[in-house]
Amino acid sequence: MGEKITMDADAGLQVPTDPIIPFIEGDGTGVDIWPAARLVLDAAASKHGHSIEWKEVLAGEKAYRETGEWLPQETVEVFTEYLIGIKGPLTTPVGGGFRSLNVALRQILDLYVCLRPIRWFEGVPSPVKHPELVDMVIFRENTEDIYAGFEVEAMTPDALKLRQLLEDAFGWRIREDAGIGIKPISKTGSQRLQRAAIQYAVDHGRPRIHWVHKGNIMKFTEGAFQRWGYELVREEFADVAVGWADCDGDPGDRILVQDAIADIALQQVLTRPTEFDVIATMNLNGDYLSDALAAQVGGIGIAPGGNANYVTGHGIFEATHGTAPKYAGQDKVNPSSVILSGVLMFEHIGWQAAADDIVRALESTIGDKVVTYDFARLMDGATEVKCSEFAQALVDRL
């Protein structure tokens, strides 16, 4: 029988050697990648004397089939109680239907940081000449911005009411046939994300942080994010970090904190990747930036993600790609994204040695050119294997 992971306000996460970890298999290719990932995670954990008691919880299509609900209350309660979990991708319809289950889980558990490390693994095919220069960690704000879900549909009574209110109160004229979304960016939401990013840079010896924003245009939301970030550095981290303007670009042995406008940042992460290290940004910018960066190091088949609240201890780790429904059940797609999300989870609960072993096994497997279809089509002389065979190849090298 496994035990629960708990949170101690002073000492942080308390992790037994046999934790109970809830998982959501995921829709579409979830049926392929989750069992593959689980095989690898179990093998690495057991090598280091740990064992995981996996506890399945339902969400998405499987939940709807079995319970009539897309996100059963029980799932939310289990994640709330057991603190740390992992999930495969879930379907979200475009332009209508229910809101994203992924976004709902992040908001219900207040998982304010979306952590997306982006690095290259030797041998992975890449569209850029020097993918080895890409080594960045993105902290994407997860609870605010236009993802908060404050949106009304064009021509509905709600939209017409809101439009009228804005005109009456502020003189803002919005076309009658416009849908309207609201973009809240708070000091609280910004600074708790920025605090986590600075702490990460301190803990991992990262020398540089960028606030990425579009504050030249959206002054009181994205612009305020930048300003609050620099204030935080001055007020809470002056001994370990300094803003560009406060040191003329010469931070000495402190972490240099600077900012970049989102559009130029998207260009510079491609043309000057060595100048970026830790990046903190708002929800939508972070979404674009992390997928664009993932493309440089091999695509979303290999990009991991974690969603965390560093105060309550909650974390849900997840593949960053979607359900790829056309491949579902074919035992074909690349399980690396969910495997590496498991690596992030292991790091988060302090199982660094097991995490490092998986990374080494992945590098060695890809180095031997044993890969799934997505990499095989871009590599010369590759041995294309199925999703489950790729996982077994990793286990063989652990």
222 binds ligand NAP (CB under 6 A): no
Q: Say if CB 89 and CB 54 are below 8 A apart.
A: no
Residues 6+ apart with CB under 8 A from 184: 144, 145, 148, 150, 221
- Tell me the residue number closest to ligand NAP, measured at CB: 322
Residue 370: its H or E element: strand 370-371
Cα-based angle 289, 292, 295 (whole degrees, multiple of 5): 145
Q: Say if CB 43 and CB 396 are below 8 A apart.
A: no
Q: Is 214 tagged catalytic?
A: yes
Q: Pattern 373-392, binding to ligand NAP, x per CB under 6 A?
A: -x------------------
Q: Pattern 92-131, binding to ligand NAP, x per CB under 6 A?
A: x---------x-----------------------------
Classify burial at 317, counting beta carbons within 10 Å of its beta carbon; exposed 0-12, middle 13-18, buried 19 or more: buried
Q: Which of 82, 87, 145, 214 is catalytic?
A: 214
Residue 198: its H or E element: helix 187-203
* One of 126, 142, 290, 323 touching ligand NAP (CB under 6 A): 323
* One of 15, 137, 138, 324 touching ligand NAP (CB under 6 A): 324
16 binds ligand NAP (CB under 6 A): no
Q: Is 246 tagged catalytic?
A: no
Nearer CB in complex with ligand NAP: 142/221: 142
Q: Say if CB 36 and CB 391 are below 8 A apart.
A: yes
221 binds ligand NAP (CB under 6 A): no
Segment interacting with ligand NAP, rule: CB under 6 A, options 10-18, 66-74, 105-113, 331-339: 331-339
Segment interacting with ligand NAP, rule: CB under 6 A, options 89-97, 114-122, 168-176, 272-280: 89-97
Classify burial at 398, counting beta carbons within 10 Å of its beta carbon; exposed 0-12, middle 13-18, buried 19 or more: middle
Segment interacting with ligand NAP, rule: CB under 6 A, options 151-159, 166-174, 242-250, 314-322: 314-322
In this structure, which long-range contacts are made by residues 129-136, counting pairs with CB atoms below 8 Å and at least 24 apart in sequence? 130/273, 131/296, 131/297, 131/298, 133/273, 133/274, 134/269, 134/273, 134/293, 134/296, 134/297, 135/273, 135/277, 136/269, 136/273, 136/276, 136/277, 136/278, 136/279, 136/293
Q: Rounded distance, CA 70 to CA 56, Å? A: 15
- Scanning the structure block, which residue is given the tokens 């109680």? 81
> At residue 255, what is the residue type?
I
Q: Which of 32, 82, 112, 147 is catalytic?
A: 147
341 binds ligand NAP (CB under 6 A): no
* One of 58, 333, 358, 393 touching ligand NAP (CB under 6 A): 333
Q: Which of 55, 158, 219, 263 is catalytic?
A: 263
* One of 20, 300, 349, 385 touching ligand NAP (CB under 6 A): 300
CB of residue 300 to ligand NAP, shortest distance in Å: 6
Assigned token pair, 15: 């992790």
CB of residue 335 to ligand NAP, shortest distance in Å: 7
Segment interacting with ligand NAP, rule: CB under 6 A, options 86-94, 122-130, 153-161, 247-255: 86-94
Helix (H), strand (E) counts: the chain: 13, 17
Q: Is 263 tagged catalytic?
A: yes
Q: Which of 287, 331, 357, 374 is catalytic?
A: 287
309 binds ligand NAP (CB under 6 A): no
SS3 (DSSP) at 282: coil
Q: Is 248 tagged catalytic?
A: no
24 binds ligand NAP (CB under 6 A): no
Interface ranges with ligand NAP (CB under 6 A): 29, 33, 89-92, 102, 300-301, 318, 321-324, 333-334, 337, 374
- Residue numbers annotated as active site: 147, 214, 263, 287
